[in-house]
Amino acid sequence: MTPESPATHGVPAPAPVADGAVTPLVRLAPSSGPVPGVPDRGPARTTPGRPLAGRTTLRVGGRPAAEAVATTAEELVGAVREADAAGEPVLLVAGGSNLLVADGDLPHTAVVVASRGVRREPVDACGGVWVTAQAGHPWEELVAETTANGWLGLEALSGIPGSVGATPVQNVGAYGTDVAATLATVRTWDRRDGRLRTLAVGDLGLGYRTSRLKADPDRYVVLEVTFQLREGEVGAPVGYAELAARLGVAVGERAPAVEVREAVLALRRGKGMVLDDADPDTWSAGSFFTNPVLEPAAAAALPEGAPRYPAAGGVKTSAAWLIGAAGFERGHGLPGPASLSTRHTLAVTNRGTATAADVLALAREVRDGVRDRLGVELEPEPRLVGCSLG
């Protein structure tokens, strides 16, 4: 496919629309408006930066040099173009659920992606339901809306914090599915070429927690994302044993999508993976480490009982299992300012007073312990800004 071609999944795609044209839309929520060919209303107003601890789910992060809050796709493109023209580094911030930002003063202009709105595209019924959401729209709100409308495919991704625009970057996934299963197109601003560009799902290089967007993080700004969903009441076959058990079905069987969503939310809450202002176990970036994909020989050398799953490029194992096997228990680090969650060893949490340095120190201790005791190098899942694990 060419970068401008639509992803069809074997069915008709939305009729092509020239950049700048306005199509008839079925509104589901207040929309930020059409994406123009060339922004003509200027960027969002730039103000002095505020500490990013208030914009990230880890609740840490220093002060950027400036901040621009973009409530429309036009403002988003304009703010990024203005910062690029001035030679200022740009940090895109939306839900802040996958960021670990350094302490202190930062040279960046923080462009806050606050565009919201969902629309149903006018596509023939045989193509399913095509739903487009603005990049800043909260992901959980989109999942709730689509499931309630009987538009299926996102229900197993309930409760994941963050924005719609971030989901194709990470190819966000949980409970046996990922965004790639329903993704159709991603509308972007190509900073290198200075133009709007629509990337079809086949052009995104989606894999386990990776994509073309993640591999080249300073090139593409996600403006809106289109998903192809099914209509009905019964969700996709349940592919995750823990979820199947919760639903009382066998792996591979189906359950009503509304029940799948409720079960996923219950499971995530039990692990401290649904944001709660009153619960420090949820003050995290979710899973801090990705599940390693190992060479077969390295996987075979793991201790007996280590999970091993076939995966593209090798054998996948469980980062949470490795952390536990290396001697790190839930709550490790308490009563310090940062600790592992008391409910899930994959989450590095801020207990209320942690700095980015505190979070990094704990994550580094866990990474090094797993490497020294089990010979596996864990890789961080959040984007590290102005800092590293060393």
Q: Is 381 a catalytic residue?
A: yes
Q: Is 287 a catalytic residue?
A: yes
Check: CB of residue 119 under 8 Å from CB of residue 25: yes
Three-state DSSP state, 163: strand
Check: CB of residue 94 under 8 Å from CB of residue 166: yes
Residue 93 main-chain phi, psi, to 5 deg = -130, 125
Q: What is the distance between the alpha carbons of residues 371 and 363, in angstroms, rounded to a whole number?
A: 12
Q: Is 82 a catalytic residue?
A: no
Q: What is the distance between the alpha carbons of residues 227 and 154, in angstroms, rounded to a whole number?
A: 9
Count of CB atoms situated within 10 Å of the CB of 67:
23
As a 3-state breakdown, the chain gives helix, strand, coil percent values, each rounded to 5, of: 25, 25, 50
Of 32, 97, 287, 339, catalytic: 287
Three-state DSSP state, 384: strand
Of 209, 230, 343, 383, catalytic: 209
Count of CB atoms situated within 10 Å of the CB of 381:
18
| Alpha-helical regions (H) of the chain | 73-85, 139-148, 167-170, 212-215, 241-247, 257-270, 296-300, 319-325, 356-374
- Whether cis (ω within 30° of 0) applies to the bond prior to 335 is yes
Q: Which residues pair with 63 in a beta bridge?
A: 105
Check: CB of residue 229 under 8 Å from CB of residue 132: no
Count of CB atoms situated within 10 Å of the CB of 326:
19
What does the block give as tokens for 314?
Answer: 């090798």
Check: CB of residue 252 under 8 Å from CB of residue 176: no
Of 82, 121, 155, 381, catalytic: 381
Q: What is the distance between the alpha carbons of residues 195 and 96, in angstroms, rounded to a whole number?
A: 26
Catalytically active residues, by annotation: 209, 287, 381
